[in-house]
Copies of this chain bind each other. A is one copy, B any other.
Amino acid sequence: MEATYRALCEHGYADLTMQDIADEAGRSKSLLHYHYDTKEGLFVAFFDYLLDSFEARVADGDDGLSARERLLSLVALLTVDDEEEARLHQALLELRTQAPYNDAYQQQLRRTKNALQTLIADVIADGVESGEFRDVDPESTARFVLAALDGARSSRVTLGDDADTEAVRDGIRRFVLDDLTR
């Protein structure tokens, strides 16, 4: 999975071969095929790996924080900070454009997106429950926040535009969070 990460960053998605990933892992292509029948199967597993790593990082720093702080920490984790992350998300965007033609990708992308959405919605629901946030629909608000973060990532990876990342971080703070805690 780490080799897949590095190979995606290096080669992008469209031109990536099982051989590239095997080379990156320092293993044979036949060993790779022993574990994953197809490139598609490997990428479906790779999304599970990305989501697991993400959830581990979220759980790590969650103790004793307010809902506002937890949401800001999720926002920070979901923005592209450096060139390596930008290259990964560029490859993931290429892969996502295949989803309309590929059921396995589409199902996996839906699962991954639902998991992220639930993480954010749960923080908002906790904030509403504790009275820290005013009463809003956690799911719809989570969808709005995730869409803005996704737009910022797309702009970063396709245009190299960092200003959108900053504007979205700022917008979530000023419009969403300030409103929730008003």
Task: Count residues of chain A with CB under 8 A from any CB of chain B.
Answer: 45
- Give the residue of B90, B139, B163 whose beta carbon is less than 8 angstroms from that of A100: B90
* Given pairs A140-B171, A144-B167, A147-B148, 17 additional interface contacts (CB within 8 A): A90-B97, A93-B97, A106-B158, A140-B167, A141-B167, A144-B171, A145-B171, A146-B151, A147-B149, A147-B150, A148-B148, A148-B168, A150-B150, A150-B151, A151-B154, A175-B176, A178-B179
B147 touching A97 by the CB < 8 A rule? no
Copies of this protein in the assembly total 2
A33 at the A/B interface (Cβ < 8 Å)?
Answer: no
Interchain nearest-CB distance for A158 vs B (Å):
4
Chain A interfacial positions (CB closer than 8 Å to B): 90, 93-94, 96-97, 99-100, 106, 109-110, 113, 136, 139-141, 143-152, 154-155, 157-161, 163-164, 166-168, 170-172, 174-176, 178-179
